[in-house]
Amino acid sequence: MHHDAIPTAPRRRLLRTCALATATAALVVPQVWAGSPVTATAPAASAQRPLDISAVTYNLGDQAYRLPGTGEPVEIGAIVHYPRDLGTTPRPLVVQLHGWHETCADREAEAAQDAAELSQDWDAYAAASQKLFSWPCASGTRPIGSHRGYDYLGEELARQGFVVVSIRANGINASSVWGDENASARADLINRHLALWQQLSVSGRGGLVGGFRDAATGKPRHVDFRHRVDLNRVGTMGHSRAGAGVTWQAADRHKGRLPDGVHVRAVMALAPAYNVMTEDMAAYEITKTPVAVIRGTCDGQVGREAFSFAADATARSSAGFHQLAMRGANHNFFNTQWSPESGEVAAGDDAGHDDGHPGQCTEPGGSTFEPQLTESAQRRLGAASITAFFRRYLVDEKRFGGTPTGWSLSHK
């Protein structure tokens, strides 16, 4: 479904009900790393000395390729965090992908949308939404950098020895693909990036050659990634609708779409927004790849059903399936660009609140309140847990042990 097909329900209401016009795109989330969900506590940090890191970007264009089926334009761009000294042994690769969010930082459109919601003028609301969810953005309007919302995580993983690629997906967010088609499109986008990295790492060729720029200055920068990235040890992290995308990509049915020589060894679904109305669970079934799910107990966009969806998708898995309920965490704070402190267009706190429980939060419509995590605390816990998961399955860090504090291992 395209954003212009959402004129009758304001975005805030959509985020809370997870039903977009056709009510076919309900969001879900799982809830445990090894027993019952408990208060999330950061796993013990690795004994490895943190490495010095650096960052570059690449951008092959806002319309670098067209979505299969619809032909809608999608960009190929990302930021890369990596250890400054790449060494001689190829390093595992982690790919990060953001979920559904406004694409264009149009403050006038945001104000018009807010006013239209108050007056219940849904035609005006749809017109404003059209501007906020367009791609490419109108001339003079800055794209919202949702992919930069996980820089804190990319930096932490790079300090631990990973090469981390955080992908831009504004074109998909502005597209007409929805439900399973949205998950498929996100998986396809990841695979296109992986093919570029496979070419670069193996032969030093392909579209990324000469395409890197310093993330701080924007100036061209040469980084020799040849034979430095291990495409046999790839981890994926998808937030929100991208959580469904990384699950789809790693599913048994779709592994054949991975570029030759690329193997996904660990999948992290962060507050994943699955299409729970799907009639084909086999499209998400994963039987040989470890999967982890994190969801905050104050998530206003994704319900607890996500845990059961992922559990069903991995029910026959011989690998680990882990779940973590993060107490006092919401949906948006995992992405700095979606969080109020950023001051970005469309940023907000999606948790449920009540005047009688100051400083506390719940799921929208919930009755159980608990202290809400600050933006920095939520990201600190998230980064520690995600790093522990990838260290366990990409570098065989045994101290993860399957059951760090707060996690539940549901089955193997």
What's the CATH code of the domain at 170? Answer: 3.40.50.1820
pLDDT of 246:
98
**Mean pLDDT of all residues belonging to the chain:** 88
Which pLDDT score is estimated for 49?
Answer: 85
* pLDDT attached to residue 396: 84
- Segment 130-159 shows an average pLDDT of 98
Residue 228: CB atoms within 10 A of its CB come to: 19
Better-scored residue on pLDDT, 403 or 381: 381
Helix axes 375-394, 151-159, angle to 10 degrees: 40
**Angstrom distances, CA of residue 94 to CA of 1, 21, 246:** 29, 34, 12
pLDDT digits (tens, 9 = 90+) for 121-135: 999 999 999 999 999
In this predicted structure, the answer to whether residue 402 has a pLDDT above a threshold of 70 is: no
What is the spatial distance between Cα 30 and Cα 311, in angstroms, rounded to a whole number? 7
Strands 73-74 and 65-66: antiparallel
For 299: left if phi > 0, alpha if psi spans -120 to 50, otherwise beta; the answer is: beta
How crowded is the C-beta side of 48, counted as CA atoms within 13 Å?
A: 17
| pLDDT tier for residue 26 given thresholds of 50, 70 and 90 | very low
The structure's pTM equals: 0.89
Domain limits at 301? 18-105+142-411
* Inside any domain, residue 311: yes
Residue 281 included in any domain: yes
**Res 372 pLDDT > 50:** yes
Over range 226-255, report the average pLDDT: 98
pLDDT band at 299 (very low <50, low <70, confident <90, very high): very high
**What pLDDT shows up at residue 69?**
86
Higher-pLDDT residue of 397, 96: 96
Averaged over 346-361, what is the pLDDT?
A: 97
pLDDT of 4 > 70? The answer is no
Q: What is the pLDDT of residue 145?
A: 98
pLDDT at 76: 98
Whether 8 shows a pLDDT value over 80: the answer reads no
Checking if the pLDDT of 301 tops 80, the result is yes
Record the tokens describing residue 140, joined without a space: 């003079």
**pLDDT given for residue 412 in this prediction:** 54
As a residue count, the chain comes to 412
- For residues 234 and 290, the answer to whether their CB atoms sit within 8 Å is no
Three-class secondary structure assignment of the chain: CCHHHCCCCCHHHHHHHCCCCCCCCCCCCCCCCCCCCCCCCCCCCCCCCCCCEEEEEEECCCCCEECCCCCCEECCEEEEEEECCCCCCCEEEEEEECCCCCCECCHHHHHHHHHHHHHCCHHHHHHHHHHHCCCCCCCCCCECCHHHHHHHHHHHHHHCCCEEEEECCHHHHCCCCCHHHHHHHHHHHHHHHHHHHHHHHHHCCCCCCCCCEECCCCCECCCCCCCCEEEEEEEEEEECHHHHHHHHHHCHHHHHHCCCCCCEEEEEEECCCCCCCCCCHHHCCCCCCCEEEEEECCCCCCCCHHHHHHHHHCCCCCCCEEEEEECCCCCHHHCHHHCHHHCCCCCCCCCECCCCCCCEEECCCCCCCEECCCHHHHHHHHHHHHHHHHHHHHCCCHHHCCCCCCEEEEEC
Mean pLDDT value of segment 245-267: 97
**What is the Cα–Cα distance from 354 to 81, expressed in whole angstroms?**
39
Cβ 81 vs Cβ 52: under 8 Å: no
Please tell me the predicted confidence (pLDDT) of residue 6: 34
**pLDDT (mean) for 8-27:** 31
Q: Residue 89 — pLDDT band, cuts 50, 70, 90?
A: very high
Banded model confidence at residue 47, pLDDT cuts 50, 70, 90:
low
Q: Is residue 12 part of a domain?
A: no
- CA–CA gap between residue 154 and residue 82 (Å, rounded): 8
Question: Is 11 inside any structural domain?
Answer: no
Q: How many domains does the chain have?
A: 1
